[in-house]
Chain A
């Protein structure tokens, strides 16, 4: 019986130990079943690979690709949006600058206009004053001449009255010229 566990011959393993079988018999090993199980598992492996692992792998791969594409698209969209925003901002800035410049320009023009108007007004005022002075001068001269005439008339009248009373020629002459001289000075 000891040699049961020490034997190495295949047939001995199977045959030794009487009707219970050898080690293989004790362990219940049946070569027919081994063969069937081997074939069975290979068929199972083939079926499950074909209908389970392959389609799943393909599906997951496809989804991964989809997700990648989606993320790429989102990224591209974001970049595009950013670009547009920068564009708009730049344009807005430009518009603002333009407006400011235009206002500045308008202000400058207004200033210039004001200066011009002021200058005009001053000049007009000066003109008016000058004309007024001139007129006053004329008026005075006119008045003076009128006065002279009047004085001369008056003098002549007075003189003639005087002359009618008593007057010699010499005295008369002297008086008239004296008078005229005075009148001219005035």
Chain B
């Protein structure tokens, strides 16, 4: 584990940089909003539309209000992931110190939305699938559902962390195992790890997308009762 000499605070520092980059982009692209958009505004609008469509297709019509959370998660994670590909940078998402807070925020928000949609009693009833299954099974399901709910943040954070960390480890292994013995230097100009970085580009996008779409799916599951009701009333019209 000698490669773990980097202080965790360095990752936090890079996370801060990613946040600053995102804020600068946000301010620049909306500094001067016009009806006839410029290039940057067009780009920002495309991002917005993408998440708007995604939220509506995953959650339904009331999913519009989740656009800021899902979109910010995506942009922040994407910038973080891509920072790991620029040589002096490190991906802040390659540590659980960054991904756990994100996942915890998401899952707490999901619980909040679930309670808001169903009420506090409905919230616990949902865990027990009360009324959907025979009553004796409900306590068992309650336990299972709680565990699976607790597994959600774990899987969210570990998935992101392990993807980014794994990519960096593989790149590092290629450098230490090939570049150092052959060229006697870790700083050879020949980028042996280049294919891994290309993969990292793809993984960076996909993982950021997966994180935000899973957020939307969890939100959809948490508020689906509300949605069903809505759908029925819409159908009755």
Interface residues of A (CB under 8 A from B): 20, 26-30, 33-34, 36-38, 40-42, 44-45, 47-49, 51-57, 59-60, 62-63, 66
Contacts and interface: CB of A to CB of B under 8 A. Distances in A.
Contacts, number: 96
A44 B44 contact: no
A53 B67 contact: yes
A37 B15 CA distance: 8
A60 B46 CA distance: 10
Contacts of B95: 28
Which of the four size classes fits the interface of chain B?
35 or more
In this complex, the member of A36, A40, A52, A60 whose beta carbon has the largest number of chain B beta carbons within 10 angstroms is A52
7 contacts: A29-B97, A44-B19, A48-B22, A51-B27, A53-B48, A53-B72, A56-B30
A42 B105 contact: yes
Contacts of A59: 33, 35, 45
A166 B72 CA distance: 172
Contact of B105 (A38, A47, A51): A38
A82 B49 CA distance: 37
B59 to A, nearest CB: 16
A54 B19 CA distance: 18
A interface SS class: helix
Given A27-B96, A49-B72, A60-B48, A40 B27 contact: no
Contact of B97 (A34, A42, A48): A34
Given A37-B102, A41-B105, A48-B23, 14 more contacts: A20-B1, A37-B12, A37-B100, A40-B16, A48-B68, A51-B30, A53-B48, A56-B30, A56-B33, A56-B45, A56-B48, A60-B45, A60-B52, A62-B35
A30 to B, nearest CB: 5
A26 B19 CA distance: 26
B97 A66 contact: no
A52 B9 contact: no
Contact of B100 (A29, A36, A66): A29
A129 B100 CA distance: 134
Contacts of B200: none
Nearest to A20: B1
A55 B30 contact: yes
Contacts of B67: 53, 57
8 nearest interchain CB pairs?
A52-B26, A38-B101, A53-B68, A49-B68, A37-B101, A33-B97, A56-B48, A44-B19
A34 B100 contact: yes
A44 B22 contact: yes
A33 B15 CA distance: 11
A62 B35 CA distance: 9
